Amino acid sequence: MKIFIAALLVLTSVLTIHFALGAGSTDRPAGVAAQNWILINDKLGLVLMPSDTPQVAVPDKQPLLLTPVATGYFMARSNIGWRRLVIVEPLKGPGATG
């Protein structure tokens, strides 16, 4: 009986550690829902923002009708965790030099 209880305690401890560490090491940043996350590779991902405009079902699928654009931002994993990337266009010099 003691061996059974010891094995049960070990199994419970292993599962607790597995799920506790697994929750902190997901493939997406904290606070990002799974349906809004697109993992590009192990160091880069894309977060899609939920659309404020409702999706309208159009019965006639004409190719000239454009679907609403998707908004979002990139996230990069560094040694301190996931960080949001901001793309900054560099200053340009005069004429074609910049």
| Structural domain boundaries in the chain | 2-92
User: Is the pTM of the predicted complex or chain greater than 0.85?
Assistant: no
Write the secondary structure of the chain as one string of H (helix), E (strand) and C (coil). Answer: CHHHHHHHHHHHHHHHHHHHHHHHCCCCCCCCCHHHEEEEECCEEEEECCCCCCCCCCCCCCCCCCCCCCCEEEEEEECCEEEECCCCCCCCCCHHHC
Model pLDDT, residue 84? 93
Q: Are strands 81-84 and 44-48 parallel, antiparallel or unpaired?
A: unpaired
Residues 46, 75: Cα–Cα separation, whole Å: 6
Give tens-digit pLDDT for 22-46: 444 457 898 899 999 999 998 999 9
pLDDT, block means (10 residues), the chain with 98 residues: 68 59 63 91 90 65 68 91 86 66
The two tokens of residue 13 are: 């401890």
State the pLDDT at residue 89.
Answer: 77
